[in-house]
Amino acid sequence: MIPFSAPRIDQLVVDEVTHTLRSGWIGTGPKTKLFEKKLSEYYGAKATLCLNSATAGLETMLRWYGVGVGDEVILSAYTFAATANVIIHCGATPVFVDVEEDFNISPQKIAAAITTKTKVVIPVDFAGFPANYTDIFSVVIDAKNAFIPTNLIQEELGRILVISDSAHALGATYNGIKIGTQADAMVFSFHASKNLTTAEGGAIALNLPEPFDNEAIYKTLCIQTLHGQTKDAYAKALQHSWKYDVIEAGYKYNMPDLSASIGLVELARYDAETLPKRKQIFDFYTEYFEGFDWAQLPVVKTTQSETSYHIYALRIKGITEEQRDEITRHIIAAGVLVNVHFMPVPALTYYKNLGYNVADYPVAYDNYSREISLPVFYDLTDEQMQTVARVVVNCVEQIVKP
């Protein structure tokens, strides 16, 4: 079987993790703090908070902004359920918006979905290709007059907060600048299947505009994501002082140093090794499929944006969802593990039961119904790439050209 994705675990990772295991400190401590600093340097954000997942990061930002019952949060219909679930956790209402042909949320449709209850917009950088931040911000600024703040932080910002779900997008660029500074807060995932992994993990890049103090927000979020404690365990140990207070019923979302160790190794070689290898795989698939008239290739680069080469989202022209499912069954039976990203969230049972209907998001449904994600990971060999491409062509042509 050719796997869909596999983390790159080599001696460097094993050595760094072993170093942490033997250091006497495996929980949140110096390596997590160093990883946060390196991430901020990497994408140029004012501050970065590492947590145990991107899901935790998204929810933390919604809670920081005071999102709750009666509020609406606009998000892309084309995402993983995490983006919507965190809105439900807060008691707010998800307002799904359809996407464009590039799988990313439509700024015009955001404008149409904004009401006086809208508090946050969450675009997704699908497959690592950046959302249209320029247009999203102009829509949000245009809607300033309709914004009704219900707490001091909302009053200070005076508009809808933009939190990106950049789970896929570490290393992508927008106007030549790395993804990490284009929205008020940008949330990355380091789940085992993502471009850069810490086994489980995530990060929030903070870029709140003046007069917000991002360093101060970082400190607040550290407390809010660790039981509301005024000191974390590492600070207690460093200061030889056990005494602390709890100032709110906070969450338990911290990233351990064990995870950060993997992240430090991964980040140090990310631009020099990981991204070029992923690009090479994308380029190979694109060259291979270009000659087939049934193949709709993913957009990876425009004058404005370049992807992080996370998901190779191939679409097959003119097929139905059933045909796509049959093609993927054949591909998997032939030994290549492919995936589909994503079933639009309104099509999932929980959200259907809340009254959402995927028919209201026709572009999302069309993209989904014809999409197949191909294997992309560091250790994928040239021979395996050849096999993937050959198997995909065989299986598609069996179905589309009977």
Ligand X SMILES: *Cc1c(COP(=O)(O)O)cnc(C)c1O
**What is the rounded distance in angstroms from the CA atom of residue 61 to the CA atom of residue 72?**
14
Q: What residues from 67 to 96 belong to the interface with ligand X (CB under 6 A)?
A: 79-80, 82-83
End-to-end CA, the chain: 26
Under rule CB under 6 A, residue 203 binds ligand X: no
Query: How many other CB atoms are found less than 10 A from the CB of residue 144?
Result: 11
Sign for the pseudo-dihedral over CA of 85, 86, 92, 97: negative
Minimum Å distance from CB 207 to ligand X? Answer: 19
**What is the rounded distance in angstroms from the CA atom of residue 247 to the CA atom of residue 229?**
7
Q: What residues from 24 to 63 belong to the interface with ligand X (CB under 6 A)?
A: 53-55
Q: Show the tokens assigned to 24.
A: 């006497």
- Closer to ligand X at the Cβ: 189 or 307? 189
Say which amino acid occupies 45.
A
Where b means 16+ CB within 10 Å and e means fewer, 115-142 reads eeebbbbbbbbbbbbbbbbeebbebbee
Minimum Å distance from CB 2 to ligand X? Answer: 21
- Closer to ligand X at the Cβ: 169 or 281? 169
Q: What residues from 107 to 136 belong to the interface with ligand X (CB under 6 A)?
A: 124
Under rule CB under 6 A, residue 368 binds ligand X: no
- Closer to ligand X at the Cβ: 60 or 79? 79
- Closer to ligand X at the Cβ: 147 or 368? 368
342 preceded by cis ω (within 30°)? yes
Minimum Å distance from CB 303 to ligand X? Answer: 25
In 3-state terms, what secondary structure has residue 67?
Answer: coil
Q: Show the tokens assigned to 259.
A: 């995870």
Please give the C-alpha separations between residue 87 and each of 21, 158, 188, 313, 348, in angstroms, as whole numbers: 36, 21, 17, 27, 15
- Closer to ligand X at the Cβ: 143 or 347? 347
Binder among 63, 109, 119, 191 for ligand X (CB under 6 A): 191
Under rule CB under 6 A, residue 168 binds ligand X: yes
Under rule CB under 6 A, residue 140 binds ligand X: no
Under rule CB under 6 A, residue 197 binds ligand X: no
Minimum Å distance from CB 71 to ligand X? Answer: 20
Minimum Å distance from CB 333 to ligand X? Answer: 26
Q: Which residues bind ligand X (CB under 6 A)?
A: 53-55, 79-80, 82-83, 124, 165, 167-168, 189, 191, 202
